Amino acid sequence: MKQDSELRNNLKSMRTRLGMSQQELANLAKVTRQTISGVESGQYAPSVAIALRLAKVLGCQVADLFWFEEDLLEIEAVLAKSISCSQQQPVSLARIGGQWIAYPLVGKDAFRLEMIPADGKINSLSNANTVRVRLLDDIDKLHNTVVIVGCAPVLSLWAQATERWYPQLRVQHNFANSMAALHSLCKGEAHIAGMHLYDPETGEHNTPFVRELLAERAAVLITLGVWEEGILVESGNPMGIKTVTDLVEAKAMIVNRELGAGTRLLLEHKLQEEKLPFHAVKGFDHIVKSHQEVAEAVVSGIAKAGISTASIAASFGLGFVPLHSSRYDLVILKEYLEEAPVKQLLGTLGNRLIHSQLEVLGGYDTSKTGDVVATI
């Protein structure tokens, strides 16, 4: 094999969507792992025999795996996030509300557990927020993409399980806190927003925030699950923390979430209930941006406590002090409900496997999973 500078491939994308390692694919195709690595990186062009073997193992045509640069289509897409460098920037793509949306794969947005394969690369800038994207994958596959925005780690689990049942369906999970997810939905950057915001004035979850932000747009709220939110503490709770007042009295260092996060609102609400100023809590302005980062801060000793969920505490072997049962809802604009990819994804909420996966995490009540709890 030798390098061909014009040959492109999406071997890594096909392999990772099927949950295969490089070694597993190599074994099935009867080649070395180094061969798979070389082909994926573009360092080597495979022989006809190897290309046929790879296509057979992956259940596709050779043309689905390999193509020449000059044969790539270009589309116009709206950037979901402004970036400083546009030329040749890799992006993932989805069709939402009649237009293509490009999500720059930059920094943490380029990773889940490993780097995310790109769907295309920016070829030119049309104006401040519109770009020309040269595709790296079949446009028909990109049409079959559902975009979910939210902070719950279980969204990724749900996405992966669904893709196993529907191999042609792509579920893209973009990370954002509850309020940011709702804004993404409003701006046409997502099909579904996941959120867990509690309004103490009405005693309602999520619905007041959706009504206020969506204004005249029609939407439905479907429950993914009810989870326990509370204080993550060191294993065994050596400081004896039971309330947010205890955090203040013990001068325990915490980490907090950013504005718009449901757990930050919960902490603020509990402090107001106990008539404590926000900054009475040491570390109130020490911000981290995910449930996992809260747990990691406590595990590493950077903080003694933080607000997150029972399932996160269990995953990291931490102590947990429950404060509130919060409903995690999926917000979907009605105009998207009849789209085939969205229907396929939402249809899996009744599957027992999804319920089992939520239950095994701990701290989730699945009795209302899949229920439509509000229509806006």
- Per the structure, how many domains does the chain have? 3
Residues 132 and 155 in one domain: no
| Residue 2 covered by a domain | no
Q: 203-250: per-residue pLDDT in tens?
A: 999 999 999 999 889 999 999 999 999 999 999 999 999 999 999 999
Q: How confident is the model at residue 1 (pLDDT cuts 50, 70, 90)?
A: very low
Residues 88 and 199 in one domain: no
Long-range contacts of 32-41, Cβ-Cβ distance < 8 Å, separation of 24 or more: 35/1, 36/11, 38/1, 39/1, 39/9, 39/11, 40/9, 40/11, 40/12, 40/15
12 vs 84 pLDDT, higher one? 12
What b-and-e string marks burial along 2-12, b requiring 16 or more CB atoms within 10 Å of the CB?
eeeeeebbbbb
Residues 108 and 92 in one domain: yes
Residue 82, SS3?
A: coil
- Amino acid letter, 268: E
360 pLDDT above the threshold of 60: yes
CATH of the domain at 47: 1.10.260.40
Q: How confident is the model at residue 176 (pLDDT cuts 50, 70, 90)?
A: very high
CA distances from 18 to 57, 90, 347 (A): 11, 22, 21
Residues 189 and 242 in one domain: yes
Residues 41 and 157 in one domain: no
Residues 40 and 106 in one domain: no
Q: Give the range of the structural domain holding residue 44, as residue numbers without chain letter.
A: 7-68
CATH of the domain at 107: 2.40.340
| Residue 224 covered by a domain | yes
| Residue 1 covered by a domain | no
Q: 7-61: per-residue pLDDT in tens?
A: 878 898 888 878 889 999 999 999 999 999 999 988 888 999 999 999 999 888 8
State mean pLDDT over 89-98. Answer: 86
Q: What is the mean pLDDT of the chain?
A: 89
State mean pLDDT over 347-352. Answer: 88
Residues 80 and 203 in one domain: no
372 pLDDT above the threshold of 90: yes
Give me the pLDDT at residue 3, please: 54
Give me the pLDDT at residue 112, please: 60
Residues 282 and 135 in one domain: no
Give me the pLDDT at residue 2, please: 47
Give me the pLDDT at residue 126, please: 74
Residues 272 and 335 in one domain: yes
Residues 137 and 152 in one domain: no
160 pLDDT above the threshold of 70: yes
| Residue 111 covered by a domain | yes
4 pLDDT above the threshold of 90: no
- Domain final position from 16, 35, 68: 68
| Residue 332 covered by a domain | yes
- Domain final position from 111, 143, 175: 143
CATH of the domain at 252: 3.40.190.290
Give me the pLDDT at residue 109, please: 72
| Residue 307 covered by a domain | yes
Residues 221 and 316 in one domain: yes
